[in-house]
Structures are given as structure tokens and as C-alpha cells.
Structure 1
Amino acid sequence: MSLVITDLHATLEDGTEILKGVSLEIPAGEVHAIMGPNGSGKSTLSKVIAGHEGYVVTSGSVTLDGEDIFEMSIDERSRAGIFLAFQYPAEVPGVSNANFIRAALQSRLPKGEEIDAVAYYKNLYSKMDLLEMDRKFTARSVNEGFSGGEKKRNEILQMMMLEPKYCILDETDSGLDIDALKIVAKGVNAMRSPERGMLLITHYQRLLDYIAPDHVHVMAAGKIVRSGGPELALELEKNGYDFLKEEALVTA
């Protein structure tokens, strides 16, 4: 059971190449972190996996437990078990949080089967309590008027309710103060499971202080240029990314 990325190349719609041969395997039960400077392709990787229409896959593959995700539509990828927590979560005016999550869960049920409302709200409230979210948020429109920290907690709430097989978190720590970061990390850690893989995309070691990864990868110039254990993140925190630029050029 793995999310496997093999020699993935992808461009923008105008032909600009962003991903230049990314290979990575994330087995179920493991947490992998990708770090790297701005413009290295980290967020692009997450969007390509999720099926963002602004990118064109030119070669390579991504398989989810052996199935080619590029043969799936965006909603099929979600139902198959892929979840992306956005760096900049979108606002959805007029749709309440409770109805949004309920509709997403309903879409995963067999035709004719309905969600039990009592059990749904009991589960929803327990997750909100863990994330220290006021229950009034259930009636508010998705992310509308939310602070940055509230939006990120809302992303984790959706993830916890949907219980995906593979979670991709794109810079979930960006814009969070230390208290919000700890709460978000608590939610993510509660989702760790032998049956679930996670990919954390971040610039900073501080997220990894609270969500300990099994493996850390460094991305530069559209490729994974170095991989290691949690100690690699500490090395990057100390030395920065400058020493990786030559390495990226050598492997280009």
C-alpha cells in the first residue's frame, strides 16, 4: 500500500517545466516531509497529484495502491483516498461547514445510503473539540471571514472527517502562530495510522518539531535532490539551502 511517484515531469499550461523527474514513494503508515526553497516545485507536486487543471503532466506516473491516478478524475482521486490541505484554502460563500463536510461524506456512500445525522454531528463535534474550534463554525460558510489559523484548522477538520488514505499538507504551517501550529499538529498527529500515509510540504523545521516525520526530502529545481531522516531537517535549519544549489545543478 503506497503512493508512488515515478520520474514525474510536469509543466505549466504555457509549457514552462516545473517538475523535472520527481520520484518518491510514501508507504502507508509513514510520514514524509518535503522541504526546499521557493520555486522548487513543492506545491506544484501537490497540485499535480490532486489533479489541478493548471498543470500538464508530460511524462512519469503516480500510482495509488497500484492504481494510476492520472486515469482518475479529480473527484475519483478524492474518493480513492487522496486529500490535499491547501496552502491557501478557498472561501465558499453560502455553504456551511457542516453541510460541506456532510456532502463530501455522502458522496462516498453507496447509492441510496444516507448519513446518520446524530452520529455525524457527534463525530464532527468531537473533532472540533480536539481542534479547539467553536461549534458555531458549523453554521458559518466554508472559510468565509476566517483567520489564517481558522482556515488551516478547518482544513484539518475536513481531513479528520474524511479519513483519507493519503494526506498531502501543502505548507499547512504557513501563517500560523505557535499556538495555532500546536493545535494543527495535534490534529495531524491524531490522524497518524499504520493504514495512512502523509506528505508534509514545508519550508521550516518548526512544523517538524511537532509532527515528527519518518523521512525528509529536499526538493530543488524540480527534483528531489537529497533524502534522509529527521536530522536532515535540522541540517537545513542550520545551514539553509545554499549548499544544495550546486547539487541540484549537478543532477539537472
Structure 2
Amino acid sequence: METKLLKINNLKTKVGEKEILKGLNLEIGKGEVHAIMGPNGAGKSTLVNTIMGHPRYSISDGEILFEGKSINELKVDERARLGIFMSFQYPEEIQGITVENFLRSAKSAVTGKNTGILAFRKALKEKLNLLKIDEAYAQRYLNVGFSGGEKKKNEILQMAVLEPKLAMLDETDSGLDVDAVRIVSEGVSKLRNSENSVLIITHHNSILEYLKPDYVHILVNGRIVKTGDASLAEEIEKSGYDKFKALA
């Protein structure tokens, strides 16, 4: 039996004294796209931050297994080296550091290997072309003066360069117009393969129409109360979460 890429058993997570996740279970296999939807305050961002190891979120019970091994005690950088990536809802602006330098440093930190400038520049150029991003973009300061769409495209570029096994996208589509949603979705789709997986948090069905998730999970009050295929997202779009709140 193949080991799941990610397996979460009875996960309970607190922020301070407040319990947010209340016994959550989730399995993600290699090559799969999973979407998590749910009302505000349900625990969606808490879930991905807990998987990533954000120190603000403490696990009070349960276990997170990545490739069959517990990562409960690992720090953020250790999880990143295992191949876990998370895009941010609100990426930070950093003056004085170019996109290229940031990505080269990140790649070296994750792989533990120093990549030469010329070799990295060549690889970066290939990723920029794949994602249809202007090459001049690499010399701009990280997120400084970027539009909302450019910031989100930069997150997908990071994903392309770091080549994670599990990419978690926290509301990557928020605040984007239709064209930007399509461009971001196409970028994610181009990076998909049989060995990596995507977990996306979204409030909207539009990005899922492009990404075509294998599974859609409804998260309410700290638990996944329903799992289905892409038609579940369409149902949410039409009818909202009321009937699912009763299951929590």
C-alpha cells in the first residue's frame, strides 16, 4: 500500500487558549489536487499554517505525517527542506532584494546546495518563460510596487523554482481579476506532475474551474464535514454553507 504524501490524524490546534482545529482528518496522495472551502473563521488558514509549522499555532493533539513520518516537532525551515511550500495571502514587500536574489537564496536554503549565478539565472529564465512572466521582473525588488496579480504570480514563480512535493496555496485567488486568476491557475497547472500535490484554500469556484481538483473538502468549525469532487464547489457557489454548518 502506497504511503500518502500527507496524512493528518485527529489534528487539534490552538492559538493561545482558543482551539481552532477540533479533530481534523485529511489524506493527500501524490499527484492530487485538493481544495479546502469553508466559511470565514472555520480554520482553513490555521490548517495550512499548522502544516507549515508556524509558531503561533500549537498542536494540542493529533499527528501530521509527511511521507509516513511525523513532522509535529519540526521547524518551518525543516519542513520546507522536506518539500512543503506555502504561498502567502498577503506577500510582504522587501526593499533592496531582487526577486532573482531572493529565489536563489531560497533555493539554496531548501536544497542545501549553492547554485552558481549563471546556472540559476538560466533555470530562472526557463521558469519565467514557462509562466509567461517578463524576464525584467526578476530584477525588481521583491513585491515592491507589485500589483496584487504580480504578487500572486511571484508566489507561483517561487513554487516553480523550489519544486516542492506539497504546495499549499492560501487564497491565492483573493483580490484577482478574471485574467489574473486564469494566469495563476495556468501556472499551477503547468507545475503539476505525478509526484507533487497541491492543497488550495479558496472561497471561489472560478479558480477550481481551471485547476480541476480531485477532491473538495468543506471545513466548518475546525473539522472537515464533507468531501466530494468538483461538483461540491459548484454546490457551495449556488447555495452557500448553511446545510454544512449543521454537520459540524
TM-score range, shorter chain: over 0.9
How far did residue 79 of structure 1 move? Answer: 0.6
Supply the distance in 1 between the matched residues of 2:38 and 2:96 (Cα, whole angstroms). 37
Structure 1 residue 104, shift from structure 2 partner: 1.2
TM-score by length of 1: 0.93
Q: Deviations over 1:131-169 (max 9, x none)?
A: 332222212221122111110000000000000000101
Report the equivalent of 1:9. Answer: 12
Instruction: Give the whole-Å Cα distance in 2 for the aligned partners of 1:108 and 1:206.
Output: 32
CA contact (8 A) 2:110 2:162 kept: no
158-167 vs 117-126, greater mean Cα deviation: 117-126
Amino acid in structure 2 at the alignment position of 1:93: Q
Match status 1:198 vs 2:198: yes
User: Which SS does the other structure have where 1:32 is aligned?
Assistant: strand
What letter corresponds to residue 245 of structure 2 in structure 1? K
| Deviation larger for 215-224 or 48-57 | 48-57
CA shift for structure 1 position 18: 0.7
Q: 1:25 & 1:32 partners in 2: Cα distance?
A: 9
Match of 1:134 in 2: 134
Question: Which amino acid is 2:25 matched to?
Answer: S
**What is the TM-score of this pair, normalised by structure 2?**
0.95
Distance in 2, matches of 1:109 and 1:241, equals 41
- Per-residue CA shift, 1:96-152, capped at 9, x if unaligned? 110111011122445xx5313333212212222233322222122211221111100
- What SS class does the counterpart of residue 247 from structure 1 fall into? coil
**What CA deviation, in whole Å up to 9, does each residue of 1:19-47 have, x standing for no partner?**
11110000111111111111110011011
Q: For 2:9 and 2:239, locate their aligned partners in 1 and report how far apart those are by CA, in whole Å.
A: 29
In 2, Cα distance between equivalents of 1:148 and 1:59? 37
Q: Is the 8 A contact 2:5 2:28 kept in 1?
A: yes
- Is the aligned partner of 1:97 residue 2:103? no
Equivalent residues, number: 245
Q: What's the Cα RMSD here?
A: 1.3
Aligned AA (1:124):
L
The gaps in structure 1 that reach 5 residues or longer are none
Q: 1:71 aligns with which of 64, 70, 73?
A: 73
The runs of at least 4 consecutive aligned structure 1 residues that moved more than 6 Å come to none
- Cα distance in 2 between the residues matched to 1:207 and 1:187: 12
Q: Unpaired segments of 5 or more residues in structure 2?
A: none
Could you tell me which amino acid in structure 2 is paired with residue 219 of structure 1?
L
Instruction: Note closer, same or farther for the CA distance 1:245–1:160 as it changes in structure 2 (3 Å cut).
Output: same
- CA distance in 2 between counterparts of 1:109 and 1:31 reads 24
Identity %: 49
Displacement after TM superposition at 1:93 (Å): 2.0
Give the AA of the match of 1:212: K
